[in-house]
C-alpha cells in the first residue's frame, strides 16, 4: 500500500497509538496486534472504497474510536492472554520434557540394535557406547537450556509469533505416545537378546535408570533458570 508524499501512515499510526494505547492497560504484543489490525483495515478501505491512505486512516480512527470505548474490554483480554501464556509456558515445558526423555530412550535402544547388528563387539562395548550417547544427550540438553537463557529477545519474538493450534498439540501427543511405545518395545526385545545374562542386562538397564534420575535434575534446574529469566514476561503482571 502506497502512502502519499504529504501523509506518513506509519508516523500517524504511531502517534495515534501513543495517545490512545496506554502501556499500563495493554501489553506490547497487544499493541502490535492492534497496529496490524489497523493496517489491515486501512488496506481494505483503500482497495474497496477507493480512498486515499489519509482518508482511510481518518475512517479507521472513527471506527476504532478512543481508548474509553475499548479499554475495559482490552484489559480483560490482556488478563486472559496473560493467564494463557502461563499455562502454555508450563504445559509446553512438561510436554517438551517427556518428548525429549522418551526420544533419548528410544534412540539409545535403536543405537544398541544398530551396534549389535553392524559391530562385532561384545555386549559390554555396545552398552558403553549407549552410556556415552546418553551422557552426550545430557550435555546437549544443558547446552540447549543455556542457549534459551541467553537468547531472550529471539525467544520472545518467536513465541509471540507462534499460534498454538489444537492440531499441533495432538501431533505432539501422538509423537510422545509413539516414542513411549517404541521405547518399551525395544527395551523388551533387548532384554530377550541378553537371555540369561543378567549381568549384561543389569548394566543395560542401569544406563536408563541413571537417565531417569539425572535427566529430571538437569531439566528441573534448567526450568528454574528459565523461570527467573522469563518470569516477567509469563508469570508477573
Residue 195 carries which DSSP code? T
CA distance linking residue 156 with residue 231, whole number of Å: 12
What is the predicted pLDDT for the residue at 3?
Answer: 43
The pLDDT value given to residue 91: 76
Which grid coordinates belong to 84? 494463557
Report the range of poorest mean pLDDT among 68-72, 119-123, 160-164, 229-233.
68-72
Average pLDDT in the chain: 77
Ramachandran area for residue 145 (φ above 0: left; ψ -120 to 50: alpha; else beta): alpha
- pLDDT given for residue 200 in this prediction: 73
Rounded to 5°, the CA angle 220-223-229 comes to 150
> 42-55 burial by CB neighbour count: b if 16+ within 10 A, else e?
beebbeeeebebbb
* 236 DSSP assignment: -
Query: pLDDT tens, 17-54?
Result: 887 776 555 666 667 767 777 888 888 888 888 888 88
* pLDDT, position 102: 93
Average pLDDT over residues 199-217: 82
pLDDT in tens, 148-188: 888 866 766 666 666 667 777 788 889 999 999 998 888 88
Quickly count: other Cβ atoms within 10 Å of residue 106's Cβ: 20
Cα 142 to chain center, whole Å?
17
Q: Looking at residue 4, what is its pLDDT?
A: 45
**Distance between CA atoms of 14 and 164, rounded to whole angstroms?**
29
Q: Given a cut of 60, is residue 213 above it in pLDDT?
A: yes
Q: Which helix (H) or strand (E) holds 17?
A: helix 9-20
Angle, vertex CA 116, rays to CA 113 and CA 118, nearest 5: 105
- Which of 222 and 199 is assigned the larger pLDDT? 222
Q: Is the pTM of this model over 0.85?
A: no
- Give the pLDDT mean for 73-84: 51
Angle, CA of 200, 102 and 138, to the nearest 5° = 75
In the structure grid, which three cell numbers stand for residue 236, read together? 508477573
Amino acid at each position: 500500500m502506497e502512502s502519499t508524499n504529504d501523509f506518513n501512515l506509519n508516523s500517524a499510526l504511531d502517534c495515534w497509538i501513543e495517545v490512545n494505547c496506554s502501556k499500563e492497560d495493554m501489553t506490547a504484543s497487544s499493541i502490535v496486534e492492534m497496529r496490524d489490525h489497523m493496517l489491515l483495515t486501512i488496506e481494505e478501505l483503500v482497495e474497496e472504497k477507493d480512498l486515499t491512505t489519509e482518508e482511510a486512516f481518518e475512517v479507521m480512527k472513527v471506527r476504532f474510536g478512543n481508548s474509553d470505548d475499548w479499554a475495559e474490554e482490552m484489559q480483560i483480554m490482556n488478563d486472559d492472554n496473560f493467564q494463557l501464556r502461563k499455562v502454555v509456558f508450563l504445559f509446553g515445558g512438561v510436554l517438551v520434557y517427556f518428548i525429549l526423555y522418551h526420544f533419548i530412550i528410544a534412540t539409545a535402544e535403536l543405537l544398541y540394535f544398530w551396534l549389535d547388528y553392524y559391530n562385532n563387539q561384545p555386549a559390554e562395548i555396545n552398552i558403553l557406547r549407549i552410556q556415552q550417547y546418553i551422557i552426550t544427550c545430557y550435555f546437549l540438553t544443558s547446552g540447549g537450556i543455556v542457549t534459551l537463557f541467553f537468547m531472550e529477545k529471539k525467544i520472545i519474538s518467536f513465541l509471540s509469533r507462534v499460534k498454538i493450534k489444537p492440531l499441533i498439540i495432538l501431533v505432539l501427543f501422538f509423537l510422545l505416545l509413539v516414542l513411549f511405545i517404541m521405547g518399551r518395545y525395544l527395551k523388551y526385545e533387548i532384554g530377550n537378546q541378553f537371555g540369561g545374562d543378567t549381568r549384561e542386562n543389569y548394566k543395560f538397564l542401569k544406563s536408563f535408570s541413571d537417565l531417569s534420575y539425572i535427566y529430571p535434575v538437569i531439566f528441573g534446574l534448567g526450568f528454574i533458570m528459565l523461570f527467573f529469566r522469563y518470569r516477567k514476561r509469563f508469570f508477573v503482571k
